Structure formats: C-alpha cells, structure tokens
Amino acid sequence: MLLRFITKRFFLTTGLVYTVVLAIFFIYQISDFLITYHMKSPKILLDTILYFLPIVLFYTATVNISISVFVASHYLKRIKMFIIPQSFGIPISYIFKPFIIGSLLISFSNILLNEFYIPNSTKHLKYIEHVYKKNQKYELGIARNLWIAKEKNNEKTFIGTSLATSDGVFYKVKLIDIKNDKFNYIIKAKKAILKNGFLRLENGYILRLNPFKEIRFGAFNIKTKIDLSQLNLWIKTPDEQSLTDLIKTAIIMRKEGLNTFPYLSTFIFKLEFSLLPFLMVSIASFYIAKSQNTIDWYKAFLWHAFLFGMGIAIPYSLSSKINLNPLFFTLIYLIMLSYAIKRLVDITKGNWI
C-alpha cells in the first residue's frame, strides 16, 4: 500500500511537470512561429512542433524528473512519510524506489528518442529553419563537397564529388586511385550513379600515370564496395544519425583511416546525457534521505548538477573543436556513474557520510 501510494503520487507529479513544460514549449513555439517565420501555414507550424517535441523531451528530461522528485519529496516530508515508515521498521530506501524506477524509465526513453526520433527531427528542422524561417535554399538528403575513402591491402581509392544525393547520384566526380603509395590513375566525370555494386561514370576521362595516358569515355563502369546504406552514413552529419548509425559510421571511418572523433563524441554525449536523469535522481534521493533540511537538498543538487553537466559538456566540446579522442573522457563519466550508484547503496545501508 505504501509503495503504491508513493508511486501514484510521484508519477502524478511527473505528469503535471511534463504538462507544464509542454505547455510552455507550445506557447513559445507558436509565438516564435508567428513572429520570425517568413512562410506561415498550419502544416508548417504542426511540423515544427512535432519535430521539435522529441528534442525538447530529451534536453528537459533531467530537469523535469528532478523537479518531480523534489515536489513529491516536499509532500512526503509534509505528511511525515520519511519518519513514520521507519518507526515500523520499513527502510527509508523503500520510499525512493519509485523515484529511481521513474528516472530509469526516463533515461531509457531518452535512448529510444536518440535512436528512432531525434536524428530525423534534426534533419527536418534544418530544412524548416533554412526554408521557412530564414527563406534560404536548402535540400534534404544531399551532401556537398563530399569525399569518400576506400582502402584494400596496399590500394586506396578516394572519391570526391561536388554534390551527392541519398539515392546514389554524384555530380562532378573525381576518383583518385593510389597503389603502393603511388598514384595509379585519376578519373574525372560529370556524373556518376551508384547501383548494384558498380559506379557508372558518365562523360569524363581516365588519366593513367604509369605510363601516362589519357582515355576519354561516354560511360564507364567501375566495381565498388560502396552501397547506398554506407553512402547515407557519409551524407548525414553526426547529429542526424542514430546511436547505431554513429557506431557504424565510426567503424567505417576507422577502416578507411579517417577521423572518427566527431561520431564517437556525439555518440558518447547522447548516451551520457540520456542517462543523466538516473544519475541526478540518485544523487537527489541520497541527500533527501540524509537530511530533512530542504536547503541542503537544493545546494547539493545544484552543485552536483553543475559538476555532472560540465563532466558531460566539456569533453564533448573539446572532442568536437580541438580533435581530442573522446574515449579518453569516458573515465570521467564512469567515475560519475560509480558515484551515483554508490549513493544508492549508501541509502540502503544508511551510510550518510
């Protein structure tokens, strides 16, 4: 009965907090749409809200669940729920089970949002931002000035294009083949089409360097291991990729000897930020259980929120801007995670040090 009562109260509070946050989001989004967008229609507004919604849910999750924990705790303190159960031999850790389960559910939801919804939302919001808000030209599913590298044994092939589309069409193509660290040949073509394991080049020439020879062609097929799924990984920016796509792209980049840091750092940031609700609720629960002084709750929470936020944001920023290996910074997060878990154990043991 006690656990059911606390669970019901906590999830009701969480629902109310999310309702308020979403109401603020809707009001802001509608106001921003009416004031700043060059093109206006009900469909554009609806698309903007629907694409922004998973991103808002992700970035406000930690704040939302933390507010819910504090509001519910204030109510439980007022009705002396932290004292009465203990007088009947019920451990105080029992009271915090709904908080921890709720934070785990939110963290898992964050992971699902990053896997299935946020990448697509990010891509479409870029289009909305440029076309409807800034009145600029923008095209989905294309990449400009793209270079793709493939390596096999002692042979490297680089394919450069001024524009590539997600359906496998390249424009103004340059293909450079290097064998045993020496230029083997260069191919230039106006257009190329990727299909069935071949790259069909049209209207160009082959420049062989050993011996020197130039061969012009109307159409020319070259076998390639690049497929459309790989191409789409190259075309998408890291923030437009799901968690699994980020890992796939990093593996491909590593095989080709290219920079994997932007993809790894984005993956680590999204995963760490997804789990942040669990970490912060664990810390908050410990200090709520430790002290009945609400000022102590907030002081401890804000201090840890600052430290944990910096522990996630600074490594991501450094990895993205100065090209540091993001794997080095995972140790910081493992320390944070271990500390949060230790605080949960301390609640069960009644260790308030």
Tens of pLDDT, residue by residue over 218-273, are: 998 988 878 787 787 778 889 999 999 999 988 888 877 777 888 999 999 999 99
How many independent structural domains does the chain possess? 2
- Indicate whether 126 and 148 sit together in one domain: no
What pLDDT was estimated at residue 302?
94
- Indicate whether 91 and 154 sit together in one domain: no
pLDDT band at 280 (very low <50, low <70, confident <90, very high): very high
In a domain, 328, yes or no: yes
In a domain, 80, yes or no: yes
Calpha distance 286→334 (Å, rounded): 19
In a domain, 245, yes or no: no
Radius of gyration of the chain (CA): 27
What pLDDT was estimated at residue 92?
82
Going across the sheet that includes 212-223, the strands are 142-152, 155-165, 169-179, 182-195, 198-209, 212-223
Calpha distance 155→151 (Å, rounded): 6
What pLDDT was estimated at residue 156?
81
The highest-confidence range among 194-198, 219-223, 266-270, 316-320, by mean pLDDT, is: 266-270
With beta carbons less than 8 A apart as the criterion, state whether 197 and 223 touch. yes
Return the number of other C-beta atoms located less than 10 Å from residue 172's C-beta: 15
- Indicate whether 127 and 276 sit together in one domain: yes
86 pLDDT exceeds 70? no
In a domain, 242, yes or no: no
In a domain, 151, yes or no: yes
- Indicate whether 167 and 312 sit together in one domain: no
Q: What domain range is 284 assigned to?
A: 2-134+262-349
For 170, the token pair is 């390249």
Sign of CA dihedral 56, 283, 311, 339: negative
User: Given 3-state DSSP classes, what are the helix, strand and coil percentages for the chain, each rounded to the nearest 5?
Assistant: 65, 20, 15
For 181, the token pair is 């660290």
- Indicate whether 221 and 335 sit together in one domain: no
- Indicate whether 129 and 266 sit together in one domain: yes
Is residue 169 exposed (0-12), middle (13-18) or buried (19+ Cβ within 10 Å)?
A: middle
The last residue of a domain, from among 235, 251, 283: 235
Question: Once rounded to an integer, what is the mean pLDDT over residues 119-127?
Answer: 94
- Indicate whether 124 and 7 sit together in one domain: yes
- Indicate whether 218 and 303 sit together in one domain: no
- Indicate whether 129 and 62 sit together in one domain: yes
Calpha distance 251→109 (Å, rounded): 26
- Can you tell me which residue has the tokens 């697509």? 120
Least confident of 73-77, 146-150, 287-291, 304-308: 146-150
- Indicate whether 293 and 213 sit together in one domain: no
88 pLDDT exceeds 90? no
295 pLDDT exceeds 80? yes
- Indicate whether 95 and 209 sit together in one domain: no
- Indicate whether 20 and 115 sit together in one domain: yes
Calpha distance 280→282 (Å, rounded): 5
